[in-house]
């Protein structure tokens, strides 16, 4: 049995996100289309004699049960009935609290990696069940699919075709936004009617979706909360479009926005321009293929 494994934990973007209703348990019913991208964290998993240890490189994060990576290891070992020890090392490349799903992806990488290392033989469905207890996006990252339509709280997945060849500029203004805060304020934005924004299809900022990108309505209901509080996020969207993006949208609860380009030089030029204008973290990545 192998003693260690390194797992890639990719980021994601939401090509649309509609909020439909608030549930009694505090979660929200949503409809979204998620796409994994090449930008990824690395999670190193090594079997140990006892206990769980976590070291984080590249960012100041909790290294105990306050971190989803730690909790994922704990939940997996409990589900497997194992007393095996695990040493975890997390190398962060995905911005934190940025709407890119980094924490959920890291947790999913731990579940999948331990399944291999311990030979537990859990099916993808079983791993998704464990993942759902950790966070709404974890089941998507457990899935081997590069893209999926998600409903429920984000845990009910339907296969979707991966985006075609394109370049994606991710522009993060350098500050974090709390997902919990965004969803709590969404109800206030819609004046108590959780369906107000979710029912009506609205175009996100952009021109024609263009070749190689999913057709349909591009929108993110959560922009109605994040953009008024952080107008620089809206400005970054407009600048991506001005730089030649075929569409631009905030991903998740933000504050990261993405622009889709079909020309590599345009994408790199936009990244350089955005860095000069805003600083923060601006990256060029590509969608993961199917």
For residue 201, the SS3 value is coil
Q: Which among 12, 36, 112, 237 is annotated as catalytic?
A: 12
User: Is 87 considered catalytic here?
Assistant: no
User: Is 196 considered catalytic here?
Assistant: no
Q: How many CB atoms lie within 10 A of CB 255?
A: 27
Contacts of 114 (CB under 8 A, 6+ apart): 45, 73, 76, 77, 80, 86, 120
Q: Vertex 234, ends 258 and 184: CA angle to 5°?
A: 95
β-strand 28-48 against 85-91: which pairing, if any? antiparallel
d(CA 153, CA 135): 9
Q: Which among 137, 155, 221, 243 is annotated as catalytic?
A: 137
d(CA 77, CA 217): 41
Residues marked as catalytic:
12, 137
């Amino acid at each position: 049995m192998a003693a260690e494994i390194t797992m890639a934990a990719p980021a994601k973007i939401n090509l649309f996100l509609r909020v439909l209703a608030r549930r009694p348990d505090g979660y929200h019913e949503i409809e979204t289309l998620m796409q994994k991208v090449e930008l990824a964290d690395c999670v190193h998993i090594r079997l140990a004699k006892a206990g769980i240890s976590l070291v984080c490189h590249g960012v100041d994060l909790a290294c105990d049960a306050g971190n989803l990576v730690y909790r994922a290891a704990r939940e997996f070992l409990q589900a497997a009935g194992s007393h095996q020890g695990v040493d975890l090392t997390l190398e962060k490349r995905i911005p934190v609290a940025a709407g890119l799903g980094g924490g959920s992806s890291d947790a999913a990488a731990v579940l999948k990696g331990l399944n291999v290392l311990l030979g537990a033989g859990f099916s993808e469905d079983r791993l998704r069940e464990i993942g759902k207890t950790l966070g709404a996006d974890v089941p998507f990252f457990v899935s081997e699919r590069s893209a999926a339509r998600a409903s429920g709280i984000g845990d009910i997945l339907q296969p979707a075709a991966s985006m075609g060849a394109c370049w994606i500029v991710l522009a993060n203004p350098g500050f974090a936004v709390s997902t919990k805060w965004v969803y709590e304020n969404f109800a206030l934005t819609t004046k108590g009617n959780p369906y107000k924004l979710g029912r009506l299809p609205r175009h996100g900022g952009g021109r024609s979706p263009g070749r190689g990108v999913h057709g349909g309505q591009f929108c993110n209901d959560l922009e109605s909360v994040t953009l008024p509080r952080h107008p620089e996020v809206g400005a970054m969207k407009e600048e991506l479009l001005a730089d030649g993006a075929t569409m631009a949208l905030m991903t998740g609860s933000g504050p990261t926005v993405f622009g889709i380009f079909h020309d590599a030089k345009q994408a790199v030029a936009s990244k350089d321009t955005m860095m000069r204008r805003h600083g923060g973290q601006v990256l060029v990545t590509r969608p993961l293929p199917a």
